[in-house]
Structure 1
Amino acid sequence: TPYTADVTDRIVRHLESAGLEVVAVGSFLEPDDHVVARITEGAVADGAAIVAGADGCEGVFVSCTSLRTFGVLADLEKRLGKPVVSSNLAFTWHLLRLAGVDDQVPGLGRLFDVGIDRGDG
């Protein structure tokens, strides 16, 4: 995340309350959203790779819609050998799936290989 420790802790608690085990967390500890928007994709990828190296890590979630991630997610997944999802990627995937667009989008990682259960069948 780019967030301060207190915000990051709230996110961790939320994920854990949903049944996810959080084995590692990393943050840029940047409270200014204008600065967050200038964090490079390379820096985000490097941070995600560090977190992904934690024992027991099965996937990485990059939180914050201001972090630029689309250009590095698929390559990062290949390099790490585990799923990597960002806030923007999950949001985009969910909107498209709810709209009935089930297209695979090259370069965005394995999330776009997955459909959505609309509960209609």
Structure 2
Amino acid sequence: MQSIGFLYPGYSAEDDYPTAQALLGADAPRLLVTHTEMREDAHRVDALLDIGSDDVLAAGARELKEQCDAVIWACTSGSFVFGRDGAEAQVRALGEAAGVPASSTSFAFTDACARLGVTRVAVAATYPDDVAERFVAFLASEGVEVVRLSTLGIITAAEVGTLERDRVLEVAEAGDHPDAEAVLLPDTALHTMGWLDDLERRLGKPVLTANQVSIWQGLRLAGDRTPRNGLGTLLRTPPSQEK
């Protein structure tokens, strides 16, 4: 059976992955989560650059080496904070360390938008403004326009992980915009995997969340093309044949 490795910083919403595993079904690849070092839990640029540093990711990749068919750096802010070129170099180094195809949540978002034909989005971010603006710039570098940005200003992933279903639905709905073709929730510390269909029913459009797109990207890189129900529009849309 195929396996997909996820490098996940710290402990906040890692239980989204077993939730997703159950929803994907018995025929799906295994989702293997390895926790990477988080020397400081802070949505602050300097801390995020440290969380996503090559030495931290290489250590995680060594734990997964020869166990998986693809590996994902499951941290949005710890990838887009480097800018597009830096995030690309980060993924390249991760792939070399793991010896398998690699990507990150930031690129998973833009690849998912491309797959759904989405070019205008609303972003409902848990981050402080300055960090969220870097995500907007990253999306723009990949041809995705943000028509509305909303932020919660939460500093720690630990606090984000405490947000429950009703609050997550409220945040997504409040962050929507009539011109947005989809709403993006960019934090892998945010629980969403059990509520994706609820989110889309509430908003009436695709909702892309960090752990969702990370898993979709992993399936894509591992060559799994099976449509999956119960995990939003994206997972019902077979990944393209391109890696």
TM-score if structure 1 supplies the norm length?
Answer: 0.88
Cα distance between partner residues in 1 of 2:239 and 2:231:
16
Q: Residue 115 of structure 1: CA displacement?
A: 2.3
For residue 70 of structure 1, the aligned residue among 175, 180, 193 is 193
Q: Check the 8 A contact 2:206/2:233 in 1, yes or no.
A: yes
Q: How does 1:6-21 map to 2 (within 5 A)?
A: 6-21=130-145
Q: Is the aligned partner of 1:99 residue 2:212?
A: no
Q: Residue 8 of structure 1: CA displacement?
A: 0.4
Cα distance between partner residues in 2 of 1:26 and 1:72:
20
Q: Residue 22 of structure 1: CA displacement?
A: 0.6
Which residue identity lines up with residue 89 of structure 1 in the other structure? Q
**Same amino acid, percent of matched pairs:** 34
Q: Is the aligned partner of 1:110 residue 2:208?
A: no
Structure 1: tracts of 5 or more residues without a match: none
Q: Check the 8 A contact 1:23/1:55 in 2, yes or no.
A: no
Which residue identity lines up with residue 173 of structure 2 in the other structure? A
Partner of 1:44: 168
For residue 212 of structure 2, the aligned residue among 89, 94, 97 is 89
Partner of 2:144, secondary structure, is coil
Which residue identity lines up with residue 25 of structure 1 in the other structure? L
| Structure ID, larger Rg | 2
- More displaced 10-residue stretch of structure 1: 76-85 or 98-107: 98-107
Q: Check the 8 A contact 2:126/2:151 in 1, yes or no.
A: yes
Partner of 1:9, secondary structure, is helix
TM-score if structure 2 supplies the norm length?
Answer: 0.46
Q: Residue 118 of structure 1: CA displacement?
A: 3.3
